[in-house]
Structure 1
């Protein structure tokens, strides 16, 4: 008999809908039920989907016609039998407020989960406690949801090579009880980073015909006598990782801005000339989010380096213009840091490794005078809050903040505190890092409109204890923000 081995996961939540995701261990139908009662005594059947081998037995049921800002209980079953009330209470989610609703909201974010010990998922127990204490509305997982290349800790004992290998690692990570519980109870928005494929991977030409990883990864694997196929990144392996990423992280995401070819049949392709990418946008009350895909078109070649392709650049600029005066709070979600530099960054795998594109983004923000804009990021294995003062062409001052939360559970970058380089690329005139966090943690962002509009960022450790906090008043009616001060 088929069993649901991963899930449920709640994703793609908006004011009138959501997506419910699950993965079974063999081909079967998956049925979705929702209701307002915790025991689902009022359960309504709302849809079904076939979980087939083509998608690794993963699938999603899309919900529609829901009420905004409303809590629904739900369950997924692998037969048509309605849920039994005595098996409750069932997990729940809350739909988003209507666009423009200025009620206060709080959400969490973070990145980088490589479980090596049973206690490594304690961070998710702490995050779940935080969810219950202050009604967190959703969370953002900003990449490295798996570590396909960590042969000593990924559950495989080798570097992932095939789609089934990558699927097995998702099952290894996402089966952790605390994480599985949290994914069922707190709506998630996800984007990949490098380890969903391999460490610091990139294309070596604009046609995306060949891929590569850093020389030191190859040397380490050679030293450990890893097979040749684990020491080199083939296009076939990228496609395998891409398929598993699609099945586990994209199926339940909001609609993509420009889906790659093959997405309509659940088999995304890597084709020359195809401008498709995995970036998407969503809104939540009075906040707007642009979730960047910084991986699918990344090129490191002697003649050219590229982070975002033209289609995503167009979408990002249009979004900045459209959201500028429409939403008081705007977030660019990037799996890699925009504002952080290090004296010891050999890989240059973040925005600092693509200086022309970093200047382009900062110039767009300055040229369009976008107030109330924040960067959310992860990846660094050390959290931070960075304030950047940007000068527009007519001399006005604009403040841009970057909030970083990383890792959930992974090796800590203990040198981040000492090796930070306050490099201010044009048009940034001044950078200030307010704090650095060098232990496993997650971040919580709170948006308030009354009595004083603003944004707070708080970092919590694996015991749900606050470590650092900043408060940023919103620049109402202008382009200037204030220096962070203790949250009132």
Structure 2
């Protein structure tokens, strides 16, 4: 009996936690006296152990036993013990979360690894091993592209080529992209199996949301994109495997133990006798399908973190594209997000909204996406050209779904102005765009709540040289004035929000931390140096200055 992957520490509350593992065979998995049986998906075995009875505001080292045999920590490990740090009254007013997106794995190819640079999360894990436990972050937020299903490492491509050449279906599947669940399983094991990454995932509560590369580049860009990809003979296998593996590896751990108990799909999987791939494939199909303007599964979720709150928004799979509609989220899911944001808003100090895609892009680039959406919506050759430009230039962020952008902006504005006792800060955390920045939003009305867009990308990937000037130009005031006039002439309404850049664009591998104490907060961006250390490249205060005494 052994662990193939994990443990991954996921949701942690005041008295509960969940620990995810993958084992080599069907087994009982035990953590801190709490036990569960693995479930099977296409011959692979998984467990999400609900741990209960913990003491609030405590730090508890834990082990993982598989059929009574200790499998974690590994013998002779160089890493500190994995721990569960619960929240509670004593820590309710403090929070430290690290976040980032776009983490490509180490490849073993010296030339390619040099091009990719040092992994910022790997460097952070190394630093953590020598830091006091009470200084560790309270959570790790992975904001998309946890795996790259369409951009494989050289070794993975060679392995896949061998599989394709020996399969009858080889000519029906792309030679350099994963398609099946078992191929996704190999991708996750390679990406999360790095020793430093495996350890940090075992000891920091980790929340995750996907972006396009977890499935495929430009996933759900438009109705045309969906129609074209659905015509590929291998796509149904791919989307079932991609969403099914996401549900197993990433989504389940985002849920609290009580949410897991109430989740009908998870309960069916636990009750299944033998391999439950058919159940997972069915939920993946429901998640992908649009019915009456809604998706069949919600991947957005909420974490309560003392006097802070995280609302993670699915801005990829939840898109509504059929029947002439174009929404980032269906109305039912958007209403759920709005309710979670507004719920007892005056009881929290800091509201965090996670979205793999930035809400506020460099202004000129945001306007260009809106202009393109208007153009692509026209009939005839102009619409076809607009669609071609949209797919070629990746114009599919929030401003390219203008109605949803406006609704999100109104929701955030309402939260910022609802009450003087509301949150001191609202921070939208995002990734995807391969540069990092902090921007402050202004809704044109007085408010004590400071609102920011915070982007950290990539954690470990390279930035093509030609895109750097484009991002810099996107922040320039003259370019923004020009594109805003163009957007207005094209039919865009006046936007309810303006924003200015406070830091960036920062290029290179980056990890960011949001640090809050009381009603004060700041964000820190760090990048690896050649010796593997992290150096601070920007620190931005997020909260309004406290009034001086007297």
**TM-score bracket for the superposition, by shorter chain length:** 0.7 to 0.9
Contact 2:31 2:51 (C-alpha < 8 Å) held by counterparts:
no
CA distance in structure 1 between the aligned counterparts of 2:71 and 2:229, rounded to whole angstroms: 48
Tell me what 2:94 maps to: 104
Contact 1:16 1:68 (C-alpha < 8 Å) held by counterparts:
yes
Contact 1:382 1:407 (C-alpha < 8 Å) held by counterparts:
yes
* Pair 164,91 (structure 1): closer, same or farther in 2 beyond 3 Å: same
The answer to whether 1:431 aligns with 2:489 is no
Aligned to 2:509, the other structure's residue is in SS state: coil
CA distance in structure 2 between the aligned counterparts of 1:338 and 1:454, rounded to whole angstroms: 23
The answer to whether 1:92 aligns with 2:75 is no
Tell me what 2:19 maps to: 20
Structure 2 runs not aligned, ≥5 long: 159-175, 270-279, 370-392, 485-493
Tell me what 1:265 maps to: 268
* Pair 153,357 (structure 1): closer, same or farther in 2 beyond 3 Å: farther
Q: TM-score, normalised by structure 2?
A: 0.73
Which of these residues, 498, 509, 522, is aligned with residue 456 of structure 1?
A: 522
Offset, 1:336:
0.5
Tell me what 2:350 maps to: 329
Structure 1 runs not aligned, ≥5 long: 35-44, 215-227, 478-488
Contact 2:42 2:181 (C-alpha < 8 Å) held by counterparts:
no
The answer to whether 1:202 aligns with 2:220 is yes
* Pair 398,125 (structure 1): closer, same or farther in 2 beyond 3 Å: closer
Contact 1:191 1:249 (C-alpha < 8 Å) held by counterparts:
yes
Offset, 1:113:
1.2
CA distance in structure 2 between the aligned counterparts of 1:248 and 1:103, rounded to whole angstroms: 31
Offset, 1:88:
7.7
CA distance in structure 1 between the aligned counterparts of 2:264 and 2:46, rounded to whole angstroms: 20
Tell me what 2:474 maps to: 420
Offset, 1:144:
0.3
Bigger radius of gyration: 2
Flag the structure with higher helix content. 2
Q: TM-score, normalised by structure 1?
A: 0.81
Residue by residue over 1:255-290, the C-alpha shift from the partner in whole angstroms, topping out at 9 and shown as x without a partner, is: 469999745434223335354211110111211110
CA distance in structure 1 between the aligned counterparts of 2:191 and 2:71, rounded to whole angstroms: 27
Stretch moving more, 60-69 or 369-378: 369-378
Contact 2:28 2:38 (C-alpha < 8 Å) held by counterparts:
yes
Contact 1:148 1:159 (C-alpha < 8 Å) held by counterparts:
yes
CA distance in structure 1 between the aligned counterparts of 2:155 and 2:101, rounded to whole angstroms: 16
- Which aligned pairs between 1:242-321 and structure 2 lie closer than 5 A? 242-255=243-256, 262-266=265-269, 267=280, 268-271=283-286, 272-273=290-291, 274-300=295-321, 303-321=324-342
CA distance in structure 2 between the aligned counterparts of 1:470 and 1:297, rounded to whole angstroms: 32
CA distance in structure 2 between the aligned counterparts of 1:241 and 1:349, rounded to whole angstroms: 20
Tell me what 1:407 maps to: 458
Which of these residues, 203, 220, 237, is aligned with residue 185 of structure 1?
A: 203
Aligned to 1:155, the other structure's residue is in SS state: helix
Residue by residue over 1:49-68, the C-alpha shift from the partner in whole angstroms, topping out at 9 and shown as x without a partner, is: 22423583122111112111
Tell me what 1:235 maps to: 236
CA distance in structure 1 between the aligned counterparts of 2:61 and 2:227, rounded to whole angstroms: 44
* Pair 57,351 (structure 1): closer, same or farther in 2 beyond 3 Å: same
Offset, 1:251:
2.3
Contact 2:98 2:514 (C-alpha < 8 Å) held by counterparts:
yes
Residue by residue over 1:316-354, the C-alpha shift from the partner in whole angstroms, topping out at 9 and shown as x without a partner, is: 111222142110111001111000145486222211211
Stretch moving more, 110-119 or 166-175: 110-119
Tell me what 2:124 maps to: 127
CA distance in structure 1 between the aligned counterparts of 2:150 and 2:39, rounded to whole angstroms: 27
Tell me what 2:376 maps to: none
* Pair 416,263 (structure 1): closer, same or farther in 2 beyond 3 Å: farther
Aligned to 2:22, the other structure's residue is in SS state: strand
* Pair 203,349 (structure 1): closer, same or farther in 2 beyond 3 Å: closer
CA distance in structure 1 between the aligned counterparts of 2:345 and 2:303, rounded to whole angstroms: 15
CA distance in structure 2 between the aligned counterparts of 1:404 and 1:11, rounded to whole angstroms: 23
Structure with more contact order per residue of length (Cα contacts < 8 Å, sep ≥ 6): 2
The answer to whether 1:52 aligns with 2:103 is no
Contact 2:2 2:71 (C-alpha < 8 Å) held by counterparts:
no
Stretch moving more, 6-15 or 424-433: 424-433
Contact 2:118 2:509 (C-alpha < 8 Å) held by counterparts:
no
Tell me what 1:357 maps to: 404
Offset, 1:384:
0.6
CA distance in structure 2 between the aligned counterparts of 1:291 and 1:259, rounded to whole angstroms: 19
CA distance in structure 2 between the aligned counterparts of 1:126 and 1:93, rounded to whole angstroms: 19
Contact 1:202 1:213 (C-alpha < 8 Å) held by counterparts:
no
CA distance in structure 2 between the aligned counterparts of 1:440 and 1:141, rounded to whole angstroms: 14
Offset, 1:409:
0.8
Aligned to 2:213, the other structure's residue is in SS state: coil
CA distance in structure 1 between the aligned counterparts of 2:118 and 2:23, rounded to whole angstroms: 23
* Pair 31,259 (structure 1): closer, same or farther in 2 beyond 3 Å: closer
* Pair 72,294 (structure 1): closer, same or farther in 2 beyond 3 Å: same
Contact 2:16 2:52 (C-alpha < 8 Å) held by counterparts:
yes
Offset, 1:78:
2.3
Stretch moving more, 462-471 or 315-324: 315-324
Alpha-carbon RMSD: 3.3
